[in-house]
Chains A and B, each alone.
Chain A
């Protein structure tokens, strides 16, 4: 068997994103569920996302969590030891889906930052 940098980096990043998510989710929950009260409105979110820092934080959190979720789901399929061709297709499929999802979320975030629908 040859050492596989792909498998190693995938595995390692899953752990790194996991640790980052612990911090990220802590902030996310603290601010959005414990400090802010009542139901959320468009205005409350736009007020928060006026800050570049918050935009930066949310985008990072989005990227990290999408990697963690997509790699996690892909990992469950990888464990099944599929045919190499199928596995390769799945890798691409999940990769592309992850990137698309990130951009979708990214646009959704920018909507609040610019206070108008982007589309």
Chain B
């Protein structure tokens, strides 16, 4: 065939039949402007229907298709094969999560942690008639905090989520900090209590894996550092003066 072929090397695993994950290779004809996700769906449609992966929006906004592609965590849908500059594309599921099938991992613990940090606005006063006022400056604090798509790439890249299963992880702490930074939120005390535990912010060693892995170029490390500073501020006051 005249077309250029790329080899997809995909980690396969079915916990019911396989003892260990293994790699299987597929050859896919390369089309101009093809993304990794398109390659995967080509395999699913034409070569091996048993392969399983999550996908939805194909525009990099839903966060379904986070996976480990050629040495880094990326969204399959926005990764151009041409940009990888390699004839072999190695794909692994998100690390530190239980593999349910091939590239599908068990996200339930992730959502469980998400729920545990009260990820919703807790305003101090009853809702006013009109909107709550917030200056554009206060709104600017949220730039870069509201863009998280919860794809789980940072969570998988973080070395600490691998060693400590109970560690909340960068994505969750990022979410917690999004509310800690919101001028309309009045539950900072509660948020610090929820994230300032031994399996919370103190488990972070500022490795920056999350920041490097983030497909949206957000800064979870910075968010965790922000929570640490807030926690220290409160913690030292309590220790030295007994209360705030």
Partner of B231, one of A3, A6, A80: A3
A35 at interface by CB-CB < 8 Å = no
Q: Which of A1-59 contact B (CB under 8 A)?
A: 1-12
* Contact, CB under 8 Å: A79 / B197: no
* Contact, CB under 8 Å: B203 / A1: no
**A3 and B164 alpha carbons, distance in the complex (Å):** 17
Q: Which of A53-89 contact B (CB under 8 A)?
A: 78-81
Interface size of B by Cβ–Cβ distance < 8 Å? 27
* Contact, CB under 8 Å: A7 / B202: yes
* Contact, CB under 8 Å: A8 / B166: no
Partner of A6, one of B116, B168, B195, B198: B198
* Contact, CB under 8 Å: A4 / B164: no
Q: Digit string of B209-244 for contact with A (CB within 8 Å is 1, else 0)?
A: 000000000000000000010011001101100000
Given A1-B116, A5-B235, A80-B164, the answer on whether A11 and B202 have CB atoms closer than 8 Å is: yes
Which A-chain residue is minimally distant from B228 (CB atoms)? A11
Shortest Cβ distance from B198 into chain A, in angstroms? Answer: 4
Shortest Cβ distance from A4 into chain B, in angstroms? Answer: 5
Give every chain B residue within 8 A of A9 (Cβ-Cβ). Answer: 235, 239
B34 at interface by CB-CB < 8 Å = no
Partner of A4, one of B160, B197, B205: B197
Give every chain B residue within 8 A of A12 (Cβ-Cβ). Answer: 232, 236
Shortest Cβ distance from B108 into chain A, in angstroms? Answer: 18
Which B-chain residue is minimally distant from A75 (CB atoms)? B205
Shortest Cβ distance from A48 into chain B, in angstroms? Answer: 37
Partner of A81, one of B163, B194, B200, B202: B163
Partner of A5, one of B160, B163, B167, B239: B239
Given A4-B196, A11-B202, A79-B203, 5 extra CB contacts under 8 A: A1-B195, A3-B196, A78-B198, A79-B163, A81-B163
Q: Which 4 A-B pairs have the closest CB atoms?
A: A1-B197, A3-B196, A81-B164, A7-B202
